[in-house]
Every structure is written in structure tokens, then in C-alpha cells.
Amino acid sequence: MVGESWIVDVLLDGDLDEQNMVLDFAKVKRTIKNTIDEVADHRLLIPTACSEVRWQQQGDKVWMDFSSLQGDIHLACPSQAFALIPCEIIDFDSVNAFLQKALRAVLPDNVEGIALTLRNEIHEAPFYHYSHGLKKHDGNCQRIAHGHRSTINIFENGIAAPKWDEYWAKRWKDIYLGTEEDVVNLSELTLSPQAKVSEETHYGFCYQAPQGEFQLAMPKSRCEIIPHDTTVELLAEFIANTLVEKTPQSEFKVIAYEGVGKGAISVKHI
């Protein structure tokens, strides 16, 4: 389970409308962004045709089970936490087809063709994949399994320190960052009958948020437990504090990004 941050390029083809446009650019941006936000953004994308995925829904609650080489993953969450995509693997092509279908339903009839290009931001610096959930967030970040593909820039005593960039990129490669106060005994979770978990192999996470109750069982090998919320501001501070503990004679400046073109800075002085 990884977090991704994708850029979407859109090309529309069709007849001109009464304004002699295919579609007003302001409407293009608003309609497409709102649709993608609604059907995919901050949701866990599920390849429902994959033989390693099992899911069931009752009312607004969905139980999800994954068999993974990294360990099995189990969730019980409100349905809006997931995007069910009829494919065997989540990649650019399968998500592209899913989004095109959603967009065709909301764009005007004169728009005949929709071409989407999904791409990663080009990173010259090391980056990490992490997923997390923010139960106090009043938007979709409260969903327990969403995430980001982010760069990090660290300066030690005012000088760029690529060794520390690499260290955190490796430490948080395909990781789940769990908040300490959200950790619960696995016996407290109401997972599906297929869930095979033990306190030796899995962490249990559970919290109540405005959108409902979110539950997750993750392999311990794919988790790091953070002693506070996992907002990018607090993650930047956590990284800086950890580095000061490792090298107390140094001053650190941490620029931690969250997705494309946004993030937070933390500075720890000697």
C-alpha cells in the first residue's frame, strides 16, 4: 500500500458550443478537478479483478482484504474511503480508463473525446512513498489509507545533506505512518472473517472521524509508529528531532513535501 501524487494532463476534443468553445477553460478545470477529487483523490484504489483482493459491502461499510508479498492488509471503512476499479493492477492505464468513464458522465455532449495523461512529478531529489490517515482533518485526509509521493531536502549546518535525504527516502519507502494514539489491540477491530492477523505480525489502527469509523490492520514490517499526528508539519519536525538525536552537534533544516509543490519546513538549532 503506497501513496502516490500524480499530475493529470487533459486534452478535450469536440464541436464548438454556443460560445464557440469546446468548453470554457474555467469550467474545464473546475469540472475535471471536482470529478477526480470525488471519485479517486484521497481514496484507496482497489483493483477488484485481482485474485489477491477480496471485498464485501454492507450499507456504507466496506471490508477489504489484500494478500501481499509484504504481508496481508485488512481494512473496514466507510465506502467513500475506496475507489473500486475493475482491473487486475493499479497503474496509469487502469486509472486513466476509470477517470475517463467518470468524466464522460459530467462533460457536455459536444465534448466527444477525452484524453488523459497521468504522470509523476519529476524528482531530482530522493523521494518517499508513505500512506497515513488524519482523523482530526475535516476533509478527505481523514481517510485512514491515503498517501503521497514526496521529496525531501535536508540541510545540515546550512549545507545540503543528500545522505540524509537518501536515509529518509529509504526509511519511508512504501511505509505506513501510524499515529501512536490510534494503535489498538487487534481484538478491538471488526475485520472480515478472512482476516488472518496476530499481535506478532500486525498493528491494529482504529479511529472515529467525521466520515465514520476507520479500521486498518497493517504488517508491522511496513509501518512506523509516530508519537503524534502525521501532518506534514509534524513529520518535518519529527525528522528534524530525530536527526538532532543522531547528530546533536549539528543544526538541521528539513523541507518535507507532501504531494506536488506543497510541504512544510522545520529548523532545529544547536
- Model confidence, pTM: 0.91
Q: What is the DSSP string of 114-161?
A: EEEEEEEPP-SS-EEEEEE--TT-SSGGGSTTEEEEEEEEEEETTEE-
CA distance 240 to 122: 25
| Set of cell numbers at residue 256 | 518535507
Residue 131 — pLDDT band, cuts 50, 70, 90?
very high
Share of the chain above pLDDT 70, in %: 99
Name the strand (E) or helix (H) holding 36.
helix 25-39
In a 3-state reduction of DSSP, which class is residue 230? coil
Over residues 74-116, the pLDDT tens digits come to 999 999 999 999 999 999 999 999 999 999 898 888 888 888 8
Of the CA atoms within 13 Å of residue 85, those in its CB half-sphere come to 25
CA distance 236 to 242: 10
What length is written for the chain?
270
Tell me which range, 77-81, 118-122, 259-263, is most confidently predicted by mean pLDDT: 77-81
Of the CA atoms within 13 Å of residue 51, those in its CB half-sphere come to 0
Distance of CA 18 to the CA centre of its chain: 40
Over residues 150-166, the pLDDT tens digits come to 899 999 999 999 999 99
Whole-number pLDDT of residue 270 = 58
* Residue 12 contacts residue 28 (beta carbons within 8 Å): yes
Over residues 10-63, the pLDDT tens digits come to 888 888 887 787 777 888 888 889 999 999 999 999 999 999 999 999 999 999
Of the CA atoms within 13 Å of residue 39, those in its CB half-sphere come to 18
* Residue 197 contacts residue 217 (beta carbons within 8 Å): yes
Q: How many CB atoms sit inside 10 A of residue 238's CB? A: 19
CA distance 150 to 263: 9
β-strand 175-179 against 223-226: which pairing, if any?
Answer: parallel
